[in-house]
Amino acid sequence: MRTPRVYLPEAEANGGELPLPEEAARYLVKVLRLEPGDPVTVFNGAGGEIHAELAGDAKRPRVRLGPSRAVERESPLGVVLWAGLSKGEKFDWVVQKATELGAAEIRPVQTARSVRRLEGAKAAKNRERWQRIAASACEQCGRNRVPVVAAPVALAEALEAGVPRGLVLDEDGDPPGRAGPDDPLHLLVGPEGGLNEDELGAAEGAGFVRTALGPRTLRTETAAVAALAWAQTVWGDFPAGGG
């Protein structure tokens, strides 16, 4: 079995012992049935990982922190995913898969066709949950740097600063080119129903290029994953695949 990984923001190499969060403790002790002395990998999200072992007892499980190891599994391409807010659990899924696919940052954007509307305390609560989902995805996929999930913001406001290089998904756009992008690469994906023409025009004015990933219309969550996987194949994790 692969050594289980735990995200502890406060962890430091050779930092003694730390209590485990309730969810992590339940998973390690109840599900995996680890015992004191069993190895655990800990990371704090700032880079690198820490060799550790389970300590304490079943009622008060802890981790004993050992030396660190300078290992990273980040993509050489910094991808910022702008994702239109989608309904239900779709956006949770987008955050999880975008993290697994190496997105450096995730920016939820409110668009004209977004069914979901988030403001104030509700927006903050959802952001906290998405950040936890990103951290959990890092535990699973091996990343040691947790991508930042930004607070939801209106697309028009988000576009004000512009981008050095970006691709906005539009089924009427041109196929993506293979010329190397600026780093970071910004990817903008609309919600259910896509972006309207005014939003597409505003995105172009901010530095995005209309891009189609193929002849078929993709669901919003599929489009986000497909765009990230394509960018990582051509420019990121496997650049040789892009010729």
pLDDT digits (tens, 9 = 90+) for 127-155: 999 999 999 999 999 999 999 999 999 99
pLDDT of residue 88: 75
Token output for 201: 């025009």
Could you tell me the residue range of the domain that residue 100 belongs to?
Answer: 79-242
CA 21 and chain centroid, separation? 21
Task: Tell me, yes or no, whether 53 and 165 share the same domain.
Answer: no
Task: Tell me, yes or no, whether 95 and 57 share the same domain.
Answer: no
| Bridge partners for 53 per DSSP | 39, 64
Q: Terminus-to-terminus CA distance in the chain, angstroms?
A: 36
CATH number at residue 19: 2.40.240.20
55, 17 contact by CB (below 8 A): yes
**Predicted confidence pLDDT, tens digits, the chain (243 residues):** 789 999 999 999 999 999 999 999 999 999 999 999 999 999 999 999 999 999 998 889 999 999 999 999 999 999 999 999 988 789 999 999 999 999 999 999 999 998 777 777 888 999 999 999 999 999 999 999 999 999 999 999 999 999 988 999 999 898 877 666 667 899 999 999 999 999 999 999 999 999 998 889 999 999 999 999 999 988 888 765 444
Task: Tell me, yes or no, whether 193 and 84 share the same domain.
Answer: yes
134, 146 contact by CB (below 8 A): yes
Task: Tell me, yes or no, whether 100 and 218 share the same domain.
Answer: yes
Task: Tell me, yes or no, whether 51 and 23 share the same domain.
Answer: yes
60, 20 contact by CB (below 8 A): no
14, 39, 69 — which closes off a domain? 69
Task: Tell me, yes or no, whether 62 and 110 share the same domain.
Answer: no
CATH number at residue 215: 3.40.1280.10
Segment 46-76, tens digit of pLDDT: 999 999 999 998 889 999 999 999 999 999 9
Q: Do the domain assignments include residue 74? A: no
Query: Hey, what amino acid is at 123?
Result: A
pLDDT of residue 29: 94
Residue carrying the six token digits 């704090």: 44
